[in-house]
Amino acid sequence: MSGPSQRNSSRRRGHRVAERLRDALRNLRPGEKLEPMNVLAARFSVSVNTLRIAMAQLESEGWLEIRHGSGCYVRRTTPAPPARHVAVLTEYNVLLSTSRADFYRHLMNELRMFLQAKGRSSRLYIGHLTSERPDTETLTCAEFMDDLALDRIEGIIALAALPLYHWTHEAHARRIPIVGMRGCSDRFDVSVDPDLEGGVRDALSLAARHQRRRPAFAGWGPDIEEAFLSAVAEFQLEARPEWVRATLHPAHAGAGWSEVREIWSAAEIKPDAIIFGDDVLFEDAVPALASLGVRIPEDLLVVVLGNAGI
């Protein structure tokens, strides 16, 4: 029995053969009969089954007419080019009931409405991952790969989708631009990062207005520790490196709990405010906050950057 990865591989081979056949069909006359399947399969160095996948695709596109018992014929009318759309792709399963899924659902909906306002058609593609650390080197969203091969996609917005070679190479070969998240500029044409530093400054301003002088930070991201301590100094608050933790990805189970416990046990003097740079991390940290034995917000002000205004 073949698994999903093997079936996806067969489909991709079929799509590639369909492209080569499509080019050949442009040079044939309408109504002309194609060579037998076994001859075509040998010419393209593929199995008859792979060729059938390619033929079925071309028939659905309007290039071929398959007459059972007679053979395959070139259609008499040239099919219209396929309608194209912008793909909004996430490998994370946004149908789950988690705060991370809520975030990506909200983001995908905002992007859909933005594209609609710009006069662009879009389609949402949702994978099956339950974490941001896949155990496969292929995308789990087979529909995306199908439409990419069928030339139905004119642009890609990638959310929680690793820039794996097989799909980014395919997109670049077709000159399809990719906009991604979080610093994958080597495979994405444009990389968009959230303004975490701006959110940190807003949070520190809020803490200062509440007369808090000893802020801590729990989050994740490159260079955020240095940026946080620099912003703390600008606000003339007490900057302590041991109160800053930003090395555990929010997708790691227990990341928020661990960072809070490390901050609290780092020194005898305790912070009077803690800023969370990620709402998922905060949810994971709630049990640790509850175990500290301090009054919130009287003794410890808690500020969360939760993808909304503070």
Cis peptide before 287 (omega within 30 of 0): no
pLDDT of residue 207: 94
Asked if 49 and 141 sit in the same domain, the reply is no
Asked if 94 and 177 sit in the same domain, the reply is yes
Asked if 229 and 151 sit in the same domain, the reply is no
Asked if 217 and 287 sit in the same domain, the reply is yes
Q: Is 80 inside a domain boundary?
A: no
Domain that holds residue 66: 4-74
Q: Is 309 inside a domain boundary?
A: no
Could you give the number of structural domains in the chain? Answer: 3
Q: Is 148 inside a domain boundary?
A: yes
Asked if 186 and 210 sit in the same domain, the reply is no
Asked if 214 and 118 sit in the same domain, the reply is no
pLDDT of residue 120: 93
Whether the model clears a pTM of 0.85, i.e. scores above it, the answer is no
Whichever domain contains 171, its CATH number is 3.40.50.2300
- In this structure, are residues 112 and 88 in contact, taking their beta carbons and an 8 Å threshold? yes
Asked if 47 and 121 sit in the same domain, the reply is no
Asked if 69 and 111 sit in the same domain, the reply is no
pLDDT of residue 191: 82
**CB contact set of 274 (below 8 Å; sequence gap of 6+):** 215, 216, 217, 218, 260, 263, 289, 300, 301, 302, 303
Asked if 225 and 143 sit in the same domain, the reply is no
Asked if 188 and 91 sit in the same domain, the reply is yes
Q: What residues of the chain score a pLDDT lower than 50?
A: 1, 309-310
Domain boundary among 170, 192, 214: 192
24-28 CB contacts, 8 Å cutoff, 24+ apart: 25/58, 25/63, 25/64, 25/74, 28/74
- In this structure, are residues 260 and 285 in contact, taking their beta carbons and an 8 Å threshold? yes
pLDDT (tens digit per residue) in 169-222: 999 999 999 998 765 557 888 888 777 888 899 999 999 999 999 999 998 877
pLDDT of residue 6: 57
φ and ψ at residue 282, rounded to 5 degrees: -60, -45
Q: Is 260 inside a domain boundary?
A: yes
- Strand locations in the chain, DSSP E? 64-67, 71-74, 85-92, 122-129, 153-159, 178-181, 190-192, 215-218, 244-245, 273-276, 301-304
Asked if 175 and 211 sit in the same domain, the reply is no
Whichever domain contains 41, its CATH number is 1.10.10.10
Pairwise CA distance, residues 202 & 303, whole Å = 10
Domain boundary among 17, 44, 74: 74
Domain boundary among 50, 74, 98: 74
Cα-based distances in Å from 149 to 12, 129, 154, 231: 7, 22, 12, 47
Cα-based distances in Å from 23 to 16, 34, 66, 77, 113: 11, 14, 18, 16, 36
Compute the C-alpha angle 106/152/144, nearest 5°.
Answer: 50
Asked if 215 and 154 sit in the same domain, the reply is no
Q: Is 57 inside a domain boundary?
A: yes
Q: Is 177 inside a domain boundary?
A: yes
pLDDT of residue 310: 40
